[in-house]
Homo-oligomer: A and B are copies of this chain.
Amino acid sequence: MNDKILLAHGSGGQLAHDLIRNSFLPALDNPVLSPLDDSATFEADGKLAFTTDSYVVQPIFFPGGNIGKLSVCGTVNDLAMAGAVPRYLSLAFIIEEGLLTNDLERVINSIKETAEAAGVNIVTGDTKVVDRGCADKLFINTAGIGIVPPGVNISGHHAQPGDVIILSGTIGDHGIAVLSQREGLNFMTKLESDCAPLNGLVAEMLGISAGIRCLRDPTRGGLASTLNELAEQSGVSISIEEAKIPVREEVAGACEMLGLDPLYVANEGKLVAIVDRKDAEAILEQMQKNEYGQNAAIIGEVREKHRGRVTMKTSFGTSRIVDMLVGEPLPRIC
């Protein structure tokens, strides 16, 4: 096997077939993938969820994960945020000529491990190779299909005044971990990305309450942008309390040094839930039992006035408007 990826690995010819048979299939094989036809086929019955994301994180390896783990978690989580049970993933690589074959193998192994942990199968895929200098090592796209259980109806449009906002844990871990690696600041902290599949946590939450209205993972744009989206979609306002939002000391410190606000820093293993007030404590307790919800906290509530607005009671006791992210302080974080 070549130690670097060549243009011919994306040709549709012999080397492309060798790559599939020698690298992808041994790691990812399953009965839906193995026919290797132009499309995968499977039976379905009921309400499906369908989503896609491309991953262009730089660097492709970072503390706590890599672009492969990210590309499975991100799409699994988008499905879980619809209340769906993730089932089938597509996997498409855009590779820059010259990528080390070893690096690709490491990424594929992470994809395998993460897909197993999340209970999803990779069922179809694609590989393109572009000439050197026309991409940055490796971009990945995954699309995913999940099954929405009967009776589950989650949407960003469903928040109601009086509902309670739960955050599943600390914010900013992923963005700061990637940035530290990229900028050579990793001496500062042993912080790792929070990159994780959240479908198990969501299934447990749905198992104990029918009062979950909205779920969203605050990735690019951070918690602030996610709350603004939800407020706008539901036509409500959202009020949060700074003191209740969990932030790791290392993240707070790095943000202060770099002039960033953790509210706008990306997460890859966190979710925001907007829930019926009467079930909030029970849902919170359930979340705290899951490894990905240990630090879950109630951080605010939904209100009626000033539709689309997000406000925060600061630690000083004042109140300020929390806007959607403007500009791009942290490009290529996912």
Contact = CB atoms under 8 A, between A and B. Distances in A.
Interface of A: 6-8, 10-17, 35-56, 58, 77-79, 81-82, 84, 88, 90-94, 123-126, 128-131, 133-136, 139, 141, 143-146, 148, 154-157, 216-217, 219-222, 225, 229, 233, 264, 266, 323-328, 331-332
B49 A92 contact: no
A45 B47 contact: no
B79 A39 contact: yes
A324 B13 contact: yes
A328 B37 contact: no
Contacts of A220: 10-13, 16
Contacts of A139: 94, 135, 139
Contact of A82 (B38, B47, B324): B38
B8 A327 contact: yes
Given A49-B41, A91-B52, A156-B36, A13 B78 contact: no
A156 to B, nearest CB: 5
Contact of A324 (B17, B94, B124, B125): B17
Contact of A12 (B36, B82, B221): B221
A7 B324 CA distance: 16
Nearest to A97: B331
A175 to B, nearest CB: 11
Nearest to A50: B40
B11 A90 contact: no
A271 to B, nearest CB: 10
A326 B42 contact: no
Contacts of A39: 49-51, 78-79, 81-82, 84, 144, 146
A133 B135 contact: no
Contacts of A7: 328, 331
B126 A52 contact: yes
Nearest to A77: B38
Given A14-B326, A81-B37, A50 B42 contact: yes
Given A11-B221, A38-B217, A128-B332, 15 more contacts: A11-B328, A12-B225, A15-B328, A17-B324, A35-B157, A37-B157, A40-B50, A41-B47, A41-B148, A44-B47, A52-B143, A56-B130, A130-B332, A135-B136, A145-B145
A16 B51 contact: no
A54 B14 contact: no
A53 B10 CA distance: 12
A99 B179 CA distance: 25
Contacts of A10: 220, 328, 331
Nearest to A52: B90
A269 B40 CA distance: 21
A88 B11 CA distance: 27
List 5 A-B pairs, minimum CB-CB distance, nearest first: A13-B325, A12-B220, A12-B221, A143-B143, A52-B90
B43 A155 contact: no
A308 to B, nearest CB: 12
A126 B233 CA distance: 18
B37 A143 contact: no
